Structure 1
Amino acid sequence: MTVQGVDRVSFVQEWEDWHRQKEAVLAGPHGFLAITSLHWLSAEPGRFEDAPGAWSSTADGVVVQLDEGEELTVDGQAVHGRHDFGVIAERDSVYVGSGDTLLEVAKRGGHDILRPRHPGNALRTAFTRTPAYDPDPRWVLSGRFLPFDEPRPVTVGAAVEGLEHVYDSPGEVEFELDGARHRLTAFNGRTPGALMVLFTDRTSGVTTYAANRALQIAAPDGEGRVTIDFNRATNLPCAYTDLATCPLPPAGNRLPVAIEAGERIPLERGGQP
């Protein structure tokens, strides 16, 4: 894609539609902005103000014990008394209903967690929008995917101090910007063959969120070519709330250039409109 060959009106409209949909998910009734707490479960059953039941993490998985009068909805069925969720896989989540609240039961960094999501959470109800750079076709770059012979496990830090995540990396993404060549370690994206990169750059901590931004990249074509659209660089949930366990970028994914594209520091973190 070249700047000269772009219909700028359509380009901006497509970006605005994409960003509106992304914001709708974030600020939905049970999106990340609805999370009211992050509970790290242990072998000792614990009760929490924003969720019914006593929750524990056992060798056989997560267990909840509901008192008389307490109820959860699991897979559309009312649950009373004791319920065993079994062992939850790393980065998986199970969602359980409790009135208008959704309870996320998950595993992050090898630890079982509980995250209640209440639609009335003030962070959600006060949300308006996420500031972003104006979409500009010059930030749509051609690149190529350089696959590894075998996927490599990559350990990265997390927004929660002391927590680590391990992702399999299928390879690197290479591109040129302002005459310099750059490579970013890629992880698997949301759909088969797609890629995702976590990165920081010289805007990080200045106009964009300091810890990380994420970029989804469509699957490479038959010759390994990819399109890298930095206009679609997004904040992870940790940019809005301390109740997220987001991964940090691999050490090599810190670009020595200013990527003045994509989402900026959220208003909730002191960002500018």
Structure 2
Amino acid sequence: MTTSTTAPFATDWTTWHDAHEAARASEHGFLTITSIRWLQAEPEQFEDAPGAWSTSEDGPVVALDAGESIVVDGQEVTGTHRFGSLAERSGVDVLWRDGDETVVIEVARRGGSDIIRPRRSSAPLRTSYRGTPAYAPDPAFAVEAHFEPFDEPREVTVGSVVDGLQHVYAAPGVLRFDLDGPRTLTAFNGHGDGLLVLFTDRTSGVTTYAATRSLDVPAPDASGVTRIDFNRATNLPCAYTPHATCPLPPAENRLDVAVEAGERLPA
């Protein structure tokens, strides 16, 4: 029987997960990506993007054909456009009108390489998407944690679902908590003052996505206390599309416990 304690918990979780699903299946979310193109020094043309694309130490460049245009930062662009050097994990979305459809082209830098990823709302992955199954929310998987900062933030290099690609994250410290025994997770800088953890556990590859799961953790208070709610563990884009560059967890974030909470393997 649902108790008065668990009912608000489940309602809050449902509201959060509905919003997360809506964002995932949004008009130009990652389910709409049609390809990932790794830009080279030699200009290349692609069937799902206008112009010829290349890159150098000065950043990505597109040379548009006569009659072609894109919109960058609200301005229509023709001819040759230089995006300038992009910071790691940053990107710019440009608009391209292809017939009756508006295509968003993500121009980004991932793992030290410049890429483009066109996004079409009509992509089959989006139009056929029916949602991601998840474990029923369980307060037992929302645990108090204590954040222990490093003397200085550390740069942590992790692998990627793309062979040979690496990502570097700033890790300010570790989270210590109890979940069927004492556990630790290396935490990365997250949104705002919050933290980000990437992890696997005993369910990985069985009922949850094998490579990684992602979880946002609220900023610790002045005494280092925060809360890890594994019910809000989510799949990264690589669980759905081959056109992703998702990071893998650091080795120490492989939890030797079955975290039967959060999103499961995509249907």
TM-score of the two chains, using structure 2 as the length reference: 0.96
Structure 2: segments with no counterpart, 5+ residues: none
Would you say the 8 A contact 1:88–1:107 is kept in 2?
Answer: yes
Deviations 1:110-135 (A, max 9, x none): 00000000100000010010000000
Would you say the 8 A contact 1:53–1:70 is kept in 2?
Answer: yes
CA distance in structure 2 between the partners assigned to 1:87 and 1:261 by the alignment: 40
- CA deviation after TM superposition for structure 1 residue 13, in Å: 1.1
CA distance in structure 2 between the partners assigned to 1:140 and 1:59 by the alignment: 45
SS of the equivalent of 2:83 reads: strand
Aligned to 1:182: 183
Residues 127-206 of structure 1 mapped to structure 2, 5 A cutoff: 127-178=129-180, 180-191=181-192, 193-206=193-206
- CA deviation after TM superposition for structure 1 residue 169, in Å: 0.3
- CA deviation after TM superposition for structure 1 residue 5, in Å: 9.1
Would you say the 8 A contact 1:6–1:137 is kept in 2?
Answer: no
CA distance in structure 1 between the partners assigned to 2:51 and 2:12 by the alignment: 45
1:255 aligns with 2:255: yes
Aligned to 1:229: 229
Aligned to 1:38: 36
Deviations 1:186-224 (A, max 9, x none): 001111x21010000000000000000011000001110
- Relative to structure 1, is the Cα distance of residues 6 and 58 closer, same or farther in structure 2, using a 3 angstrom cutoff? farther
Residues 1-273 of structure 1 mapped to structure 2, 5 A cutoff: 7-99=5-97, 100-178=102-180, 180-191=181-192, 193-267=193-267
* Amino acid in structure 2 at the alignment position of 1:201: D
Structure 1: segments with no counterpart, 5+ residues: 268-273
Deviations 1:101-153 (A, max 9, x none): 00000000000000000100000010010000000111110110010010000
* Amino acid in structure 2 at the alignment position of 1:205: G
Would you say the 8 A contact 1:200–1:254 is kept in 2?
Answer: yes
SS of the equivalent of 2:235 reads: coil
CA distance in structure 2 between the partners assigned to 1:256 and 1:128 by the alignment: 31
* Amino acid in structure 2 at the alignment position of 1:247: P
Aligned residues: 262
- Relative to structure 1, is the Cα distance of residues 45 and 35 closer, same or farther in structure 2, using a 3 angstrom cutoff? same
* Amino acid in structure 1 at the alignment position of 2:153: P
* Amino acid in structure 1 at the alignment position of 2:115: I
- CA deviation after TM superposition for structure 1 residue 6, in Å: 6.2
- CA deviation after TM superposition for structure 1 residue 9, in Å: 1.7
Would you say the 8 A contact 1:214–1:234 is kept in 2?
Answer: yes
CA distance in structure 1 between the partners assigned to 2:34 and 2:25 by the alignment: 13
CA distance in structure 2 between the partners assigned to 1:194 and 1:227 by the alignment: 11
SS of the equivalent of 1:119 reads: coil
Deviations 1:229-269 (A, max 9, x none): 000000000011111000000010000000000000001xx
- CA deviation after TM superposition for structure 1 residue 12, in Å: 1.0
CA distance in structure 2 between the partners assigned to 1:144 and 1:188 by the alignment: 16
Question: Matched residues, percent identical?
Answer: 59
CA distance in structure 2 between the partners assigned to 1:7 and 1:42 by the alignment: 56
CA distance in structure 1 between the partners assigned to 2:43 and 2:126 by the alignment: 29
CA distance in structure 1 between the partners assigned to 2:251 and 2:4 by the alignment: 34
Q: Deviating runs (4+, > 3 A) in structure 1?
A: none
* Amino acid in structure 2 at the alignment position of 1:171: G
